Structure 1
Amino acid sequence: MPEKPGLDERYGRTRGRIVRDRRLLWALAGIFGVVLVAWVVWAGLDSPGTQIDARDTRHTIIDSRSVSVTFEVSVAQNTPVSCAVEALNEGFTVVGWKVIDLPASESYTRSFTEVIRTTELANTGLIYRCWLT
């Protein structure tokens, strides 16, 4: 009568398979480690670049068709910037919009005043966003 294979052999739990599974797990752990180290180095060396800080300082409602917005922009010296200035009505709907190109300067922080034409009476005027140009 032939000998019956053991349960380990029957269900694929042989010594060779265990060794192969361990090697596969070590290889996957190694690949994960390499990817993790590469990501940490990439994220650490990625400099934040030039920072722009813009803030509203005041607004003045001139009449039902215009508003004056005064704002400050802080950016590295000799860096040209563009800013979008907007006017909003009582329901926070944009009723005026203007993109302003600010030339490079030796000053880090500069103040600007712009008059924005509006389609109806504005309730406020403010900086929407600034970006490098």
Structure 2
Amino acid sequence: MTMPVTTPAELDERYGRTGSKRVPWIVGGALAVAVVGVAGWMTVRSAMDDVDITGTGYRVIDEHSVTVDFQITAPRDRDVHCIVEAQDEEFGVVGWKVVEYPASADHARAFSETVPTVALATTGLVNSCWVA
């Protein structure tokens, strides 16, 4: 009695080893790697532009101005803009201004800004800073 001979093509078909079934997996894997790479770069790039702010104090000069002292940690050689605010006892904004700092080789810098107010301020702070 002779046994039928199974060809390699028949074995590939029987056990799912055809090339056409692997193509979607290869394409899907390549797309997944690309998406993860782009998302990773966007996260790194966003973190590179972060500006950290530390308020170090404020002084109410009179009912028309307050001085705010603060430090920023920002990327080197990039312009930075900040919004400095004065608030009253109910946390209402009674004065604010946008300040622009030119690029610097220093990573951390300290500033003191006087903000004009329309009423007596009870505090001063930096609302936000960003890389320009």
Same fold at TM > 0.5? yes
Aligned to 1:132: 131
TM-score, scaled to structure 2? 0.71
TM-score, scaled to structure 1? 0.71
Output the aligned Cα RMSD.
2.2
| One-letter code aligned to 1:65 | H
Aligned to 2:21: none
**1:37, distance to aligned residue in structure 2 (A):** 3.2
Aligned to 2:77: 78
**1:132, distance to aligned residue in structure 2 (A):** 1.3
Q: SS of 1:120's equivalent?
A: coil
Give deviations 1:20-43, integer Å, cap 9, x for gaps. Answer: xxxxxxx6x777655533321211
Aligned to 1:105: 104
Task: Quote the Cα distance in structure 1 between the aligned partners of 2:98 and 2:108.
Answer: 19
Count of residues in Structure 1 that have an aligned counterpart in Structure 2: 109
Cα pair distance change 1:78/1:34, threshold 3 Å: closer
Identity %: 39
Aligned to 1:90: 89
Cα pair distance change 1:42/1:65, threshold 3 Å: same
In structure 1, the gaps of 5 or more residues are 1-26
2:33 equivalent to 1:40:
no
Aligned to 1:116: 115
In structure 2, the gaps of 5 or more residues are 1-23
